[in-house]
Amino acid sequence: MKRIIIVLGHYGSGKTEISVNLALKLAESNKKVALVDLDIANVYFRSRERKQLLVDRGIEVHSNAFQFDIAADLPALSPTIRKPLEDKTYNTVVDVGGDDSGARILNQFIKYFDNDETQILCVINANRPETSTVEGALDHIYKIQKEIGLNVSGLVNNTHLLRETQISDIIKGRELCNQISEILNVPLVYNCCVESLCEEASDSLDNIFPIKLYMRPTWM
């Protein structure tokens, strides 16, 4: 993993869940960790909604310029966002909006994203209509790459049906991601799996990344 990890993905891919889990995992290694929430295109399931959880684990959260909940939806970015991008002592996870329009915000920070320090991960959920085929997923990725002038450097298979997810769903996503991986010549970095399925999944999958569902209330 590189110092700056940019997490992209279509709406419903689970990119925010992955971003939160990645930040928490990094913090377990006593690293200096920040999560930068640049998702101003989607008003649902934003990583800044779990700010207190992250802060309690020693993770800095940078997003909205206004430090109170009533203004959480305003697209007013805090100038402190640049701090963990500039300071090389930080490991930084960047949670970005779902499509090429949402990713456009990266352009104003482009000088920080060099190849040596930055990894761009695209989260794929093969159960979402927009990314259920190789053609659809590639179209999504190509549009983002054209918008930001940077290439995706890794894939994350997060094929799920929330709490109804089966191992077969994850395997289906892996097969899709393997085809995309071959075309783009980038690795499939993780197969994401909720913790309760990890033991069963280990018989069929490698590169498993165990996740907890922090972004979904239990009633969902």
DSSP codes of every residue in 14-50: -HHHHHHHHHHHHHHTT--EEEEEE--S--SS-GGGG
Domain locations along the chain? 4-211
The mean of the pLDDT values for the chain is 88
Q: What is the pLDDT of residue 146?
A: 95
Q: pLDDT tens digits, residue range 35-66? A: 999 876 555 456 667 788 999 999 999 986 55
- Of 171, 156, 159, 165, nearest to 204 by C-alpha is 171
Checking if the pLDDT of 136 tops 60, the result is yes
Q: What is the pLDDT of residue 111?
A: 93
Q: How far is CA 61 from CA 9, 94, 149, 215, in A?
A: 20, 10, 26, 15
- Rounded percentage of the chain residues whose pLDDT exceeds 70: 87
Q: Model-level pTM greater than 0.85?
A: yes
Side-chain half-sphere exposure of 74, counting CA atoms within 13 A: 11
- Distance of alpha carbon 119 from alpha carbon 121, whole angstroms: 6
90: tokens are 């930080």
Radius of gyration, CA atoms only, the chain: 16
Sheet holding 154-157: strands in order across? Answer: 60-62, 33-38, 91-96, 4-9, 118-124, 154-157, 188-194, 208-211
Question: How many residues in the chain?
Answer: 220
Q: What is the mean pLDDT of residues 150-156?
A: 96
Checking if the pLDDT of 34 tops 50, the result is yes
Q: What is the pLDDT of residue 97?
A: 77
Confidence grade of residue 1 (pLDDT, cut at 50, 70, 90): confident
CATH number corresponding to 4-211: 3.40.50.300
Q: pLDDT tens digits, residue range 62-76? A: 986 555 444 444 455
Contact status, residue 12 vs residue 125, Cβ threshold 8 Å: yes
